[in-house]
Every structure is written in C-alpha cells, then in structure tokens.
Structure 1
Amino acid sequence: MSASPAPSALSVAGLRAALEPAASVLVPDDDGYETARAVEPGGIDHRPAAIVRPADTAGVARAVRFAHDAGAEVSVRAGGHSVFGLGRSTGALTIDLRGLDALDLDVATRTAWAGGGMTAGAYSTAAGTRGLATPFGDTGGVGIGGITLGGGVGLLARSRGMTIDSLLGAEVVTADGDVLQVDAEQHPDLFWALRGGGGNFGVVTRFRYALGEVSDVVGGVLLLPATPASVAGLVAAAESAPRELTVILMVMTAPPMPMIPAEWHGRLVVMANLCWSGSPAAADAALAPVRDVAAEAGGAIFDGVHAGPYAGLLEGGPQGGSVVATGRTFFTDGVDEAAAAHLLAELEATDAMMRAVQLRVLGGAVADVPRDETAYAHREAAVLGNVAALAPTAEAAAGYTPWVSALAERLRGGHDGLYANFALDGGPDTARAAYPGATWDRLAAVKRTYDPDNVFRGNVNVLPA
C-alpha cells in the first residue's frame, strides 16, 4: 500500500508537462490555489500538493495515471461541499471535477448522463423543466458525485428510493488510469460497489441515472416548538405516513432568521422539512397528522409548506467561512418521548454556538431494496440520525466531539451502523460500521481488483483484501 507523499514528492514540472493544456494545474504558490483548495462550509485546512482541473475524462485519466506512477494519493473534489473535508488531503494530488458538469437528458428513455462535477440543484432544476427528477438529498449545493457514491438519502427517499437506486451506469477512471463503462452487465462487481461504497474505486466522471415523473410537489419547512411529544410525534407521524411523504427533522436552536419571530431566536425548535410527491389532491390528508402534532405543541411558529417544483425545496448548502463542524451519524429504530426528552436536555446543556440533531425518517422505497443488492447495507433502518455541533475553530469543535458521540450513542439504540456520507472521518472503525460483515468483505475484494495500492483513500476507506 502506498504511503501519502510529502508535498514535494510530486514533480510540478512533470505534472504540468504531462497534463497541460488538457487540464490546469495549481500548486501552493499559484494565484487561485487558496480559493481552489477551500472546502465549504469552511475551517478545513488540507493542503494538496497540486490541484488539477481536467477539461474531460481523458484529462482525468492522465492525472490519475501520473499520480499512480508517482506513488501519490489521489483525492477527488466533486461538485459540492464536504463538511469534514474528505475531498481534500494534504500532500495529495486533488482532481477537481467541477468543470465536468454537462447534462444530457433523454426524455424519451427517461435517462440522463450527468458530469461528475455537477450539483444536485443544477441537475434537478434542469430535469424539473421536463417534469422529471432523480432523487438526491435536501441540499442543492451538494455534488452529485459524493451523494451518489455514498448512497443518497433525501426528500424523495421514501417515494423514489435512494440516489443509488436510480443509478444505471457510470464512466469510471480506475487507479491505473483506465476508463471503464460500468453498469449491471459491464463490470457488475464495480457497479455494485459504486452504489454506496464511496470514492474507493476510482474517479466517476459521468453518471447515468433513471428519471421519474415528478410534477409539482407539496413541501417546505414547518417550524414548531420542540418538546418530547412534538419530536417523538413527528417521527411517528412520518413513519406511518404514506410513502409519498418524506420528512426530515432538524431539532435545533432557532437561528435569527427573518421568518422566525424574535421571541423564538435561540430557543429549541423542530424544523420539519416536508415533501409530498403524491397526488396534490391528497396532500392535505397526508400532511394532517404532521399538522396535528404542530397544533398539539401550541401551533406552528412558521408554516412554509406550499406547492411548487421539487427543485425549489433543495436548499443552497453550507456557507463559506470559518465555522467548523463535528458530528456523528447513527441509525435507530425510532425516537420515543424518553429519547426525545434526553435529546432536548442535551441540546440545552451544551454551550456550542450551534447544535442540532437531524432525523431522517426512512422506510418506503428505501426498504424495498434487499440489503445485499447495493453496498449501502442499512436498508432495514427506520431512522437515519446525525448529531452535530459547530464552533469557530477546529480545536473548539473537537472539544464538543465527546458530547456529540455520547448523544448519538444514546439515540442509536441497537444499531451499530453509520451512513458513510455523514461520517466524521474515514478511519477503519468508521469504515467497518458503514460497511458491516459481508458487505466489507465484498468491497475489499472489489478494491483489490480496481485499486490494490489504495490510491483512492481520501474517503471512508476500504482496504484492499
């Protein structure tokens, strides 16, 4: 297995000679390097030895081949953010895919080829003009590459499944620089691994997705007071709802936003992000149990639920700046009032500048897929959770990690697994929890075939068997 090189291990002159003009090259002394290495939402201080911006797949292949021959690690920056900075690595050659953002929609076959540097928002907006959609997350600024390779749990999850459930194929540059066309018939082992196994197996330069009919949805934010009854009640209402309703809850201190009355700023609230993708005529009945919970809590503080395009529900994503996050993801069978009371007490007790527990209610189409059909192996989980705290510096954020871990441990119940896309790091314990048992063994075998030297390790890393 190759070790991470020092920044000087890569020959800048050799890199430029090999890649330019097919790809631009930035090194630490170049203008634009600091901007290019920044990762939203900020606070991540990784310093790649070089950042390569290819113009096409051939440029990606040349960059990977150069790094492989030099014994250098390759890290990949796709189209969006990385809260924990896994798209960067100090001393690595970083391939920035943001220039590969072309989209080819085929309305007749309801399929699309999308460049690996595209964002979910751009894709969803373009597809939405044709009344079509592929399920991504809840954030427009996320890159389709990262969310797809990790699984993809968002506002259409219960009705349309995870992002990987709509993945039909991919164009992949492997560790030796080969370009493979991958699908259920060509390299099926690699196709299985790409659906949840992260960026362990190559650079995906294009994704082929299925598109489903999604006209206007009914959704948006419903904000209500946070009590044990309201938190547990919303989770229960979302679990028992028709699969056309997906609910993502954020239990948090209310930020000073114009839509929130001043008397609620800094107080604990539940921000429920709703998406009803069934018949508009049935929306009121489907949302009634959720609104009943709000009424029992004293009424909605803010009601932004409305009919509109699916793409309009996707938020912009993390903002730049110096705020640093620490967090821990978990799965659980549910959240009862006792767990909700503990959750609220812990959120009150910490002095983090921003703290939150997110709960994504699963089931529906997510659970329809057998757990061994994809590398995402947690199909039976009822709720995906994430505990997070934000601080002004990395050192301050690290101080909240024990609190984050303890609360996640209390909430997870009997589930040991975690969701790779919300992972705090890419270490061995994290990887084993994300990819348990037979999933790990199968991924390790695929890794041995396509990346035996572990060139791609800036991720939730699977070691070659």
Structure 2
Amino acid sequence: MTSIDNTALDSLRTTLRGTVTTPADADYDESRSLYNAMIDRRPAAIARCTDAADVRATLAFAQDAGLELAVRGGGHSGPGLCLVEDGLTLDLSPMRSVRVDPEARTAQVGGGGLLGDLDHATHTFGLGVPAGIMSTTGVGGLTLGGGHGYLTRAYGLTIDSLVSADVVLADGSFVTASETDHPDLFWALRGGGGNFGVVTSFTYRLHPVDTVGAGVTVWPVERTGEVLRWYRDFLPAAPEDLYGFFALLTVPPAPPFPAEIHGRKMCAVIWCSTGDLTDDRLEETLSVVGDPAPPAFHFTSPMPYPALQSMFDDLIPKGLQWYWRGDFFDSISDAAVEVHEKYGRALPTGLSTMHLYPVDGAAHRVASDATPWAYRDAEWSGVIAGVDPDPANAEPIRQWCVDYWTELHPHSMGGAYVNFLGEAEEPDRVRSTYRTTYERLAAAKRTYDPDNFFRANQNIAPATM
C-alpha cells in the first residue's frame, strides 16, 4: 500500500474545503465503495472536492506526490475506473448543484451531479435532457461517454444537448469549452471520456418533456425469437417520439408484475412515449404488441418523466456484483437472434440481463465526425450484464457475460459505447470504439494532456509528433 507523507496530507486537508479520507479513517471503506461491488480497490487517499479550487489543489497534490489519479463522479463506472489502487481518487460527489434557466432552456450541473438531481431541477419547468435510464447514474461519466436514454430517438444523445463544460486541465488551468471557446476540447469531451481534464460543470440545452407514456410488455423467454424479429422491424419504423428498449430478464417479485409471473425468465420491451397521450394514443400505438406472440403481461400508464427515470433504482441498488460488455449493432440478424435466444434461456441469476437501446432517430441526424461518437449509423447500443448480490456468484455471472458477448460480437459493428466497455480495454478495442475519430482525439490529448496524466479511463494515448 502506498504511503503518503502525513505532512503533505495535512497541507491538502488545510487547503481543501472538502475532506480527505485515507485507510486510517473510519469512513474509508464507505468512501471507496462503488455502485459495482465487484470492484475492491484501495486508493491511498480520497479527496472530496467541493469546487474548482479543490479540484486544482487535488490535481497539484497528485502530481507533486507522484500519485496516479482517478476521477469519480457518480461512481457508476462498471469496470470501476473511478478508483485506482494505491493512487488518489478525486471525488466530485459534493458538486451536485443544478441551476436551471427556464427562459433560455438551459441547465448547469455540477460535475458530481446525478441524473436524478438534473431531472428534479428541470422537471418543474417541463424540461429535460436525453440521459440514461436510472436516476442514480452520474451526469459526468454518462455525458463524457456520449450518453443515451429514453429521449434519444426524440432529442438525440446527451452530448448533442451539451452547450459548454467548465474544465480543470492537467496543468491546473481552468477553461470553459464550447463551440466558440476551445472548440477542439469541446469536441473531444463529447464522447472522448475522462481523457482531457476534470469537468467541474456541464451546461445542457433542455427539451420539452413532462408526463410521458411509460410501458412494459413481457413475453415468455421461449418467444424471444418471434419478439425480437418483430421488434427489429417495428421500432425503427415507429415515430421518433416512441422509444422502447429490448431486454432479457427475470421478472422481479414487485409491482406492477402479477405474482404468477414472478421469477420467470422473460423477454421484454420497456416503452417511453413523449408524444400525444390524449385519447389513449399510447395504447393505440402499442396495440400491435400481440403481433409476435401473446404477452404474458402488458402495462402502460402516464408517468412523470423523473418517475420513469427512477423506476429501476430500487431493483438494482448500489452494492451488487456487476460484470458487463457491450457492442453497437446496425441490424439484428437471424444469427444474432439465435444467440439471444440461447443466452436468454441461460440467464444465470435473477438480476442478470441484456439490453438493446435504440440510438437512431434524432441521433442519426448528426454527422459521424461532429463528435467522437463515430457510430451515428448504429441502430442499437447493446449491453450484456451479469448481476447478483452474492460475491460467490461473481465468476458465474462474469463467464456467462463473456461467453454471450463472444458469440454475439461477430454480429456487431465491431465497436461499443465506451461506457459499456467491460474493463480497462486494450488500445485496439478503444480504437474500434472511436473509428476514424480516434486520431483527432489523440491529437486533442496531446494538446490538453500531453503526459497522459488522466489515464485511469478507457485511455487514449497522446498522439506522437
């Protein structure tokens, strides 16, 4: 375990408005805990930053002490890249303030904010940002990876709504990146991950969203083939105000599901409509859900958007074992359907799952080189997740995920949403995620972080001269 000079730590504690936690402190284990309990790394210290001044001081301390640095926002990183063994974690979680300008339709969010913070502040004005499907997800990590969610077909990716970002760079300088100021950095931040600096606040353009039409349709897992073949044709042709992600799951013992299907393996579509909800329009739109096979359960209801965003929070809380891998898909071939059928029947635990998130609609109307998100031609962003509360099941869920991904990957586009990469990946895998935008990202890295100080991430090495 790396030892940090106590005098230097005392100096950092005096400088920060936030707190500094080390293994000697009673709250150390809680401070280093992440959403994914499979990650068990022990940083030498955790600095909880309250503002940009704290961030600058923490960066300087890490560099002076020769410590590897990781940056933590919401702590949802699947591979736990927000913690580094024997290094320093810069924790932004105290920075969760949200300021909404309803007339300009913008919101500024602190770098440690959660989607629930953003949704709470914007919903009162009937506005929102396309971002994620869980309110406990960190705004920072989701945005820096690109971001997709229930509103993506209607309003695009999260990065398509980003207006500007306040950033502390590796040399300690503070800049605001936008289309007009540091545009090359602004371009890189919109999908290039945490490679370029510490973002202390994000400013988003907001969109009209208030009450949405939420729905869940489930079919027996034995009908996965028929349902998935229907879904692959139905959804891309549906109006862009209708969103639905496909899932393989085990029905939880909770409302709104009836007791007779609790614990059964199913395939499902979770719906969100931002269209006209009058006159039972959602039910009319979804009257076709029986076409592939009779559903075992079908439910729709008007719902405040934040309620839909938080619908899964209690089902999959912090502290579970997670292992995931992802890929992009421009089609769902019959051969891919067979893979999904096989592994859907073999779901290893009650919380393990597979999701196919649509990333078409408005997201397709942005050029492939306008942001680092190079897969603007993808129809779906897929993720396979082995999940369970018991550490004894860590290896079985990991192996199921790896086997599933290995068989499905040949039917993919070759790259994945960077936030769905399963661990700190090999350079070739990171390159495949960014396609032709990788070289421009590497050039931006050379400009803003030439020494690769920010490397606890899906790393992009600085371009060589």
The two structures have a TM-score, normalised by structure 1, of: 0.92
The one-letter amino acid paired with 2:416 is L
Q: Is the Cα–Cα contact under 8 Å of residues 447 and 464 in structure 1 kept in the other structure? A: yes
1:179 aligns with 2:174: yes
**Larger mean Cα displacement after TM superposition, 397-406 or 28-37:** 397-406
CA 1:106/1:258 → structure 2, altered by over 3 Å: closer, same or farther? closer
Q: Which moved more, 1:363-372 or 1:327-336?
A: 327-336
1:445 and 2:443 matched: yes
Q: Are the equivalent residues in 2 in contact too, given 1:326–1:398 (CA < 8 A)?
A: no
Shift of 1:106: 0.9
TM-superposed CA distance for 1:408, in Å, is: 2.6
Name the structure 1 match of 2:276: 279
Q: Residue 310 of structure 1: CA displacement? A: 1.4
Correspondences of 1:347-366 after superposition (within 5 Å): 347-349=344-346, 351-352=348-349, 354-366=351-363
Return closer, same or farther for 1:130/1:22 CA change in 2, 3 Å cut-off. Answer: same
| Contact 1:52 1:94 survives alignment (8 Å) | yes
Q: Map 1:33-112 onto structure 2 (within 5 A).
A: 33-112=28-107
Match of 2:7 in 1: 13
Of the three residues 454, 457, 463, the one matched with 1:456 is 454
Query: Which deviates the most, 180-189 or 383-392?
Result: 383-392
Unaligned regions of 5+ residues in structure 2, if any? Answer: none
Q: Give the match's secondary structure for 2:375.
A: coil
Q: How has the CA–CA distance of structure 1 residues 320 and 427 changed in structure 2, closer, same or farther, with 3 Å as cutoff?
A: same
The residue that corresponds to 1:3 in the other structure is: none
Q: Would the aligned equivalents of 1:234 and 1:290 in 2 still touch at CA under 8 Å?
A: no
How does 1:207-286 map onto structure 2 within 5 Å?
207-226=202-221, 227=223, 228-281=225-278, 284=281
Between the aligned partners of 1:11 and 1:454, the Cα distance in structure 2 is 24
Task: Quote how far apart the aligned CAs of 1:152 are.
Answer: 0.6
* Cα deviation code 1:90-134 (max 9, x no counterpart): 112111111111111111111111111111112112101001111
Q: Which amino acid aligns with 1:239?
A: P
- Counterpart residue number, 1:314: 309
Residue 94 to residue 264, structure 1, CA distance change in 2 (3 Å): same
- Give the Cα–Cα distance (whole angstroms) in 2 for the partners of residues 95 and 12 of structure 1: 18
- The answer as to whether partners of 1:225 and 1:297 remain within 8 angstroms in 2 is no
SS at structure 2 position matched to 1:298: coil
Alpha-carbon distance in structure 1 between the residues aligned to 2:339 and 2:96? 44
Q: Distance in 1 between matches of 2:240 and 2:123?
A: 21
Q: Report the CA distance shift for 1:409/1:368 in structure 2 as closer, same or farther (over 3 A).
A: farther
Match of 1:122 among 117, 125, 144: 117
Residue type at the aligned position of 2:46: I
The residue matched to 1:138 in structure 2 has which SS?
coil
Residue 265 of structure 1 deviates from its aligned partner by: 3.1
Counterparts of 1:361-440 in structure 2, within 5 Å, are: 361-391=358-388, 396-412=393-409, 413-428=411-426, 429-436=428-435, 438-440=436-438
Contact 1:234 1:293 in 2 (8 A): no
In the TM superposition, residue 320 of structure 1 has moved relative to its aligned partner by 2.8
Q: Distance in 2 between matches of 1:346 and 1:43?
A: 22
C-alpha contact 2:217 2:289 (8 A) present in aligned 1: no
Assess if the C-alpha contact under 8 Å between 1:97 and 1:116 holds in 2. Answer: yes
Matches within 5 A, 1:137-152: 137-152=132-147
Q: Which moved more, 1:309-318 or 1:334-343?
A: 334-343
Letter in 2 for 1:125: H
Distance in 1 (CA, whole Å) between partners of 2:79 and 2:360 is: 27
- The match for 1:335 among 332, 337, 342 is 332
Amino acid at match of 1:14: A
Cα 1:310–1:78, aligned 2, differ >3 Å: closer, same or farther? same
The alignment-based identity, stated in percent, is: 37
Q: Which residue of 1 aligns with 2:195?
A: 200
Q: 1:217 to 1:392 in 2, by over 3 A?
A: closer
Q: CA RMSD in A?
A: 2.2
1:299 aligns with 2:295: yes
| Contact residue 369 and residue 379 of structure 1 kept, 8 A | yes
CA separation of 1:282 and 1:405: change in aligned 2, threshold 3 A: farther
Q: Secondary structure at the match of 1:67?
A: helix
1:111 and 1:338, CA in 2 relative to 1: closer, same or farther beyond 3 A?
same
- Aligned to 1:149, the other structure's residue is in SS state helix
Cα displacement (A) at 1:352: 4.4
CA distance in 2 between partners of 1:350 and 1:168 (Å): 41
The answer to whether the 8 Å contact 1:155/1:275 transfers is: yes
- Contact 1:377/1:439 (<8 A) preserved: yes
Paired with 1:44 and 1:461, the residues of 2 have a C-alpha distance of 19
For residues 109 and 153 of structure 1, the distance between their equivalents in structure 2, rounded to whole angstroms, comes to 23
Cα distance in structure 1, aligned partners of 2:291 and 2:412: 32
User: Normalising by structure 2, what TM-score?
Assistant: 0.92
Distance 1:442 1:324 in 2: 36
Quote how far apart the aligned CAs of 1:50 are. Answer: 0.5
2:119 counterpart of 1:135: no
1:48–1:89 Cα contact (<8 Å) kept:
yes
Confirm or deny: 8 A CA contact 2:242 2:272 kept in the other structure.
yes
Shift of 1:376: 1.2
| Residue 22 in structure 1 maps to residue 36 in structure 2 | no
1:295 shift after superposition:
5.7
Query: Matches of 1:261 and 1:355 in 2, distance apart?
Result: 20
Asked if the contact 2:353–2:384 (Cα under 8 Å) also holds between the matched residues in 1, the reply is: yes
Change (3 A) 1:213 1:261: closer
